């Protein structure tokens, strides 16, 4: 159990951020996070060690999210990115407010990019996963991930230059 606590402390914030980005709802992301770690505990004996533990947990979280989408039939339901966390309780400087607005705008543009580009950009840029980790999570070759990431960046750059107009 002590090992699991270490695992949870190491990955819970990253997995939560990933799930929050995917579902756009902090309460749902928290539920999905709990389900992810519940399944990780339940299935720890199935972990074969062929990949990194982080890759395995990201795979579980992605599957939990996809299951939630199927159950709730929310595939095309888009919410504004939920920024109502600890920042709301703090006094915000003008610079911080501008940074948050810029980040919201960036996430809205990323949301407009189709899959798999959006997911690869998220995993690589936001969650700081390596190409190898992403390839293991998505069950694709590393070269495919690199190409998709590059093409996704090109699409995102075009959206930014055109101020969101396609």
Per-residue pLDDT reduced to its tens digit, 136-145: 888 899 999 9
**13 phi and psi angles, rounded to 5 deg:** -70, -40
On the question of pLDDT at 20 being above 80, the answer is yes
CATH number of 1-78: 1.10.1740.10
In angstroms, rounded to a whole number, what is the distance separating the alpha carbons of residues 33 and 15?
7
Give 3-11's long-range contacts (Cβ < 8 A, gap of 24+). Answer: 4/37, 4/40, 4/41, 4/44, 7/40, 7/53, 7/57, 8/37, 11/53, 11/54, 11/57
Confidence of residue 76 (pLDDT cuts 50, 70, 90): very low
Fold of 94-165: Arc Repressor Mutant, subunit A (1.10.10)
101-105 mean pLDDT = 74
Span(s) in the chain for CATH 1.10.1740.10: 1-78
In angstroms, rounded to a whole number, what is the distance separating the alpha carbons of residues 102 and 143?
31
Please check whether residue 64 is in contact with residue 35, taking contact to mean a CB–CB distance below 8 angstroms: yes
33-56 mean pLDDT = 87
Confidence of residue 80 (pLDDT cuts 50, 70, 90): very low
Please check whether residue 13 is in contact with residue 126, taking contact to mean a CB–CB distance below 8 angstroms: no
- pLDDT of amino acid 93: 61
- pLDDT of amino acid 129: 86
DSSP character at residue 139: T
- pLDDT of amino acid 73: 58
Structure tokens at 24: 């756009």
Span(s) in the chain for CATH 1.10.10.10: 94-165
Confidence of residue 5 (pLDDT cuts 50, 70, 90): confident
Could you count the other beta carbons within 10 Å of the beta carbon of residue 152?
23
The more confidently predicted of residues 20 and 144 is: 144
pTM of the model: 0.58
Residue linked to tokens 């982080």:
54
In angstroms, rounded to a whole number, what is the distance separating the alpha carbons of residues 29 and 36?
10
Structure tokens at 87: 């920042």
């Amino acid at each position: 159990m002590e090992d699991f606590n270490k695992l949870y402390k190491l990955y819970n914030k990253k997995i939560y951020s990933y799930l929050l980005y995917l579902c756009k709802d902090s309460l749902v992301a928290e539920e999905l996070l709990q389900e992810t770690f519940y399944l990780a505990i339940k299935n720890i004996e199935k972990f074969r060690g062929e990949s990194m533990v982080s890759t395995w947990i990201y795979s579980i979280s992605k599957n939990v999210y996809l299951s939630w989408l199927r159950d709730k039939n929310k595939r095309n339901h888009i919410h504004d990115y939920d920024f109502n966390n600890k920042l709301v309780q703090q006094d915000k400087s003008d610079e911080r407010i501008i940074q948050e607005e810029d980040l919201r705008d960036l996430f809205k543009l990323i949301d407009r990019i189709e899959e798999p580009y959006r997911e690869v950009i998220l995993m690589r840029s936001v969650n700081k996963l390596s190409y190898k980790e992403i390839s293991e999570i998505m069950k694709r070759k590393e070269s495919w991930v690199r190409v998709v990431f590059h093409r996704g960046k090109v699409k995102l750059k075009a959206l930014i230059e055109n101020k969101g107009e396609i």
